[in-house]
Amino acid sequence: MKEVEKDSEEYIEIFNLFESVQDNAVRKITSEDNTVEAVVEEGILSAIWLGATSTLPHFFCAEACRPKIEILRTPGIGNISFLNNRNDVLIVTIPNGIFAIDLDLRDTQNFQPIHQESGSSFVVNDENTIYILDSRDIFAVGL
C-alpha cells in the first residue's frame, strides 16, 4: 500500500473519483463477464446468477443450488465492486473497513481485510489498483 502525495495531480484526479462514491454508493453491479449481479438492499448483500440455472457455479450451491444467495447481512454496507475480472469475490465497504469477501458459502467464507478503518471508502480505477480514501489520505493498493 502506498500513499498518494496530496499535492500531486494524481491525488486531485483520484480524490474527484470519490465524490460519486461518497454521495451514491454503488448498490447494484454486474460482473465483467455478465454472469453475476451483486445487490445491496436493506443491509443485505446478495449475489444473483444471471445465467441458465443448469450452469450455476459451485459457489451458488452451499446447502442447495439457488440462483440468489445472501452473502452478507450488516447495516451500513457501502460501496461494492467485483475483484478484478472475477465473478466470485467482491470488495465491500462496511462500517469498520474495506474487505474482500468470497461468494462461496460452502465452507468457511473467506473474508479478508483490505483496510480496517471506519469511515474509509474505495474506488477501483483499473483492474490492478484499488484506491482507498481514509479521512483526506489516499492509498493505492495493488490487486
Q: Dig out the grid coordinates for 2 from the structure.
A: 502506498
Do 105 and 88 meet the contact criterion of CB atoms below 8 Å apart?
no
**CB proximity list for 5: less than 8 A, separation 6 or greater:** 11
pLDDT at 100: 94
Give dist(CA 54, CA 60) in Å, integer.
12
pLDDT digits (tens, 9 = 90+) for 77-102: 988 999 988 999 999 999 999 999 99
Overall pTM > 0.95: no
**CB proximity list for 4: less than 8 A, separation 6 or greater:** 10, 11, 14, 131, 138, 139, 140
Q: Dig out the grid coordinates for 127 from the structure.
A: 483492474
Q: Dig out the grid coordinates for 71 from the structure.
A: 452473502
Instruction: Name the domain count of the chain.
Output: 1
pLDDT at 126: 72
Ranges of residues in the chain with a pLDDT under 50 are 23-24
pLDDT at 30: 95
| 3-class state of residue 60 by DSSP | helix
Full residue range of the structural domain in which residue 13 is found? 2-142
